Structure 1
Amino acid sequence: MKKTNLLRASLFILLTLFWQPFAQATTAQQTRPNVLVILVDDLGYGDLSSYGATDLKSPHIDELLNRGMKFSNFYANCPVCSPTRAALLTGHYQDMVGVPGVIRTHPENSWGYLKPSAVTLADVFHSAGYQTAIIGKWHLGLESPNTPNERGFDLFRGFLGDMMDDYYLHRRHGVNYMRRNQKTVDPQGHATDLFTDWTCEYLKQQATSESPFFLYLAYNAPHTPIQPPEDWLGKVKQRETGIDPDRARLVALIEHLDAGIGKVIQTLDETKLSDNTLIVFSSDNGGQLGVGANNGALRDGKQSMYEGGLKVPTGVVWKKHIAPHTETDFMAMSMDIFPTVCEAGGIKVPSGLDAVSFLPTLQGRQQKPLRAHWFFRRREGGNRYGGKTIEAVRSGQWKLLQNSPFKPLELYDLQTDPLEQKNLAESNRQKFNQLSGLLRAEIQRYGSVPWQKPLSPYSKD
Structure 2
Amino acid sequence: MKHFAHTFILISFIGVLLSIPVSSDGSAFGKHQKPNILIITADNLGYGDLSIMGADDIQTPTIDELFSDGLIFTEFYANSTTSSPTQASLLSGCYPALVGVPGTIRNDSQNSWGYFTCETTMAHHFQKAGYLTALIGKWNLGFDAPNLPNEQGFDLFMGFLGDEIDDYYNHQHDGVNYMRFNENEINPPGHTTDLFSNWSANFISREAESGKPFFLYLSYNVPGPLLQPDENHLQRVQVRNPALDSARAKHVALIEQMDNGIKRVIQALNETNQLKNTIIIFTSTSGGILESGASNGKLRGGKLDLFEGGIRVPACIFWKKEIKKGSLSHQISVTMDLFPTLCSFAQVPMNHSPDGKDLSTCILQGIPLQQERTIFWTCREGGDHNGEACHAARQGAYKLVQNRPTEKFRLYNLTTDPHEVIPLMESSEHYKRLHHAILRHIQENEKIPWSKGPIGRDNNSMDDSSISNNL
Scaled by the length of structure 2, the TM-score of the pair is: 0.89
**In structure 2, C-alpha distance between the alignment counterparts of 1:325 and 1:154, rounded to whole Å:** 34
In structure 2, what is the equivalent of residue 70 of structure 1? 72
Mapped to 2, the partners of 1:101 and 1:370 lie a distance apart of 29
**Structure 1 segment 220-239 matched on structure 2, within 5 A:** 220-239=221-240
Query: Is this contact kept in 1: 2:30–2:212, CA < 8 A?
Result: no
Return the offset for 1:226: 1.1
Checking the alignment, whether the CA contact within 8 Å between 2:78 and 2:335 is kept in structure 1 is yes
Q: Which residue of 1 aligns with 2:12?
A: none
Q: How does 1:305-320 map to 2 (within 5 A)?
A: 305-320=306-321
C-alpha change, 1:29 and 1:109, in structure 2 (3 Å) is farther
> What CA deviation, in whole Å up to 9, does each residue of 1:183-242 have, x standing for no partner?
110111100000011001100111122111110000111112011111111111111131
Q: Contact between 1:356 and 1:370, CA under 8 Å: does it hold in 2? A: no
Match of 1:445 in 2: 444
Task: Report deviation, 1:412.
Answer: 0.3
In 2, are the aligned partners of 1:71 and 1:328 still within 8 Å (CA)?
yes
| Matched residue type, 2:89 | A
Check the 8 A contact 1:83/1:99 in 2, yes or no.
yes
Q: Is 1:361 paired with 2:362?
A: yes
Deviation per CA, 1:242-286: give whole Å up to 9, x if none. Answer: 112211110111111111111111111111111211111110010
Task: Tell me the residue number matched to 1:15.
Answer: none
1:118: Cα distance to partner?
2.6
Q: Structure 1: which amino acid aligns with 2:407?
A: K
In structure 2, distance between residues paired with 1:369 and 1:401 = 25
Q: 1:448 to 1:203 in 2, by over 3 A?
A: same
2:59 paired with 1:60: no
Among 31, 34, 49, the alignment partner of 1:32 is 34
CA apart distance, 1:429: 3.6
* C-alpha contact (below 8 Å) 1:332/1:370 kept by paired residues: no
Local SS of the residue matching 2:323:
coil
State the SS of the aligned residue for 1:214.
strand
Distance (whole Å) between structure 1 residues aligned to residue 453 and residue 128 of structure 2: 27
Cα offset, 1:424, TM superposition = 1.1
Contact kept in structure 2, 1:66 and 1:325, CA below 8 Å: yes
Task: After TM superposition, list the pairs within 5 Å mapping 1:78-89 onto structure 2.
Answer: 78-89=80-91
List aligned pairs for 1:149-164, cutoff 5 A: 149-164=150-165
Q: Which stretch shows the higher mean deviation, 359-368 or 49-58? A: 359-368
The CA deviation string for residues 288-323 of structure 1, in whole angstroms up to 9 with x for no partner, is 001111101000111100000111110101112101
Any idea what SS the aligned residue of 2:365 has? coil
User: Paired residue for 1:9?
Assistant: none
Aligned: 1:219 with 2:220 = yes
Q: 1:174 to 1:455 in 2, by over 3 A?
A: farther
The Cα offsets for residues 116-148 of structure 1, whole Å up to 9 and x where unpaired, read as x53101110111111110000010001111000
Q: Residue 78 of structure 1: CA displacement?
A: 0.5
Q: Structure 1 residue 342: deviation in Å?
A: 0.6
Given candidates 38, 44, 47, the residue that maps to 1:45 is 47
Per mean C-alpha deviation after superposition, the further-off stretch among 149-158 and 343-352 is 343-352
Counterpart of 2:116 (choices 114, 120, 126) is 114
Q: Tell me how far 1:348 sits from its aligned partner.
A: 1.3
Structure 1 partner of 2:145: 144
Kept in 1, the 8 Å contact 2:362–2:369? The answer is: no
Structure 1 unaligned spans of 5+: 1-21, 457-461
What is the percentage of aligned positions where both structures have the same residue?
A: 44
Shift in Å, 1:74: 0.5
Contact 2:248 2:293 in 1 (8 A): yes
The 5 A counterparts of 1:302-381 are 302-368=303-369, 371-381=372-382
**TM-score normalised per structure 1:** 0.91
Q: How many residues align?
A: 432
Matching residue's letter, 1:437:
H
Alignment partners' CA distance in 2, 1:242 and 1:69 = 34
Task: Tell me if the contact between 1:30 and 1:210 (Cα under 8 Å) persists in the aligned partners.
Answer: no
Q: Contact 2:284/2:314 (CA < 8 Å) preserved in 1?
A: yes
* Structure 1 equivalent of residue 257 of structure 2: 256
Query: For 1:208 and 1:146, how far apart are their aligned partners in 2?
Result: 30
Aligned residue for 1:39, secondary structure, equals strand
| Paired AA for residue 445 in structure 1 | E
Of residues 98, 101, 104 in structure 2, which corresponds to 1:102? 104
Unaligned runs of 5+ in 2: 1-23, 456-471
What residue number does 2:130 align with?
Answer: 129
- 1:49–1:56: 8 Å Cα contact kept in structure 2? yes
Residue in structure 2 matched with residue 202 of structure 1 by the alignment: 203
- 1: CA distance between counterparts of 2:205 and 2:354? 34
CA distance in 1, matches of 2:326, 2:430: 38
What SS does the aligned partner of 1:363 have?
Answer: helix
Which has the larger displacement, 232-241 or 135-144?
232-241
| Cα displacement string for residues 6-35 of structure 1 (whole angstroms, at most 9, x for unaligned residues) | xxxxxxxxxxxxxxxx99975797210110
Letter paired with 1:260: G
Q: Is 1:385–2:410 an aligned residue pair?
A: no
1:421 aligns with 2:424: no
Following the alignment from structure 1 to structure 2, what is the Cα–Cα distance between the partners of residues 217 and 129? 19
Q: Is the 8 A contact 1:29 1:211 kept in 2?
A: no
Alpha-carbon distance, 1:371 to partner: 4.9
Q: 1:201 and 1:386, CA in 2 relative to 1: closer, same or farther beyond 3 A? A: same
1: CA distance between counterparts of 2:129 and 2:31?
10
Corresponding residue SS for 1:132: strand
User: 1: CA distance between counterparts of 2:259 and 2:281?
Assistant: 15
The structure with the largest alpha-carbon Rg is: 1
